[in-house]
């Protein structure tokens, strides 16, 4: 059983959240069956995040990390198949492509591969003009003239 959400009331009462609401709508439509490779997402500080993926058997040359606007794509392509007959094959070595939707102003700042774990560090860098600022309240010139005439 699948339930779909109607976000149209939120569109009527919010301004500038259309990207977020569209992302929620898209996420509710996607049915992810493939859960390989396993990964963790951690918030390491107020503006820092870390994705850790278990990619045992892949080398740096067989992995690719690409960021396009608000989409991070991690893919793995094995260079060649091992020759030989397997009696049991429990280590997945198939190609993969994993996508992560990123919020505005989130950038990849580094990646490393250690002991079969691919670690991708991300940072939210909000531009200075986008940060909250205090608005100075001043008296209107017309109000000052009316006050001066009354005196």
Contact 79, 72 (CB under 8 A): no
Residue 1 has a pLDDT of: 46
Q: How far apart are CA 64 and CA 4, in angstroms?
A: 34
pLDDT above 60: residue 133: yes
**pLDDT class for 5, splitting at 50, 70, 90?**
low
Using the 8-state DSSP alphabet, how is residue 130 labeled?
Answer: G
42 burial via Cβ count (<10 Å: 0-12, 13-18, 19+): exposed
CATH class of 36-79+90-130: mainly beta
Element (H or E) spanning 150, and its range?
A: helix 141-150
Instruction: Indicate the domain borders of the chain.
Output: 1-31, 36-79+90-130
Q: Is the peptide bond before 37 cis (omega within 30 degrees of 0)?
A: yes
What is the reported pTM? 0.66
Mean pLDDT of 91-113: 88
């Amino acid at each position: 059983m699948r339930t779909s959400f109607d976000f149209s009331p939120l569109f009527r009462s919010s301004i500038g959240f259309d990207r977020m609401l569209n992302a929620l709508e898209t996420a509710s439509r996607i049915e992810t069956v493939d859960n390989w490779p396993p990964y963790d997402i951690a918030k390491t500080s107020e503006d820092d995040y870390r994705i850790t993926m278990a990619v045992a058997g892949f080398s740096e040359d067989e992995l690719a990390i690409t960021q396009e606007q608000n989409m991070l794509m991690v893919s793995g392509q094995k260079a060649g198949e091992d020759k030989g007959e397997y009696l049991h094959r429990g280590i997945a070595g198939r190609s993969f492509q994993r996508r992560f939707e990123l919020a505005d102003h989130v950038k990849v700042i580094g990646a490393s591969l250690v002991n079969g774990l691919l670690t991708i560090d991300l940072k939210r860098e909000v531009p200075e003009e986008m940060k909250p600022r205090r608005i100075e309240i001043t008296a209107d010139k017309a109000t000052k003239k009316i006050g001066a005439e009354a005196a």
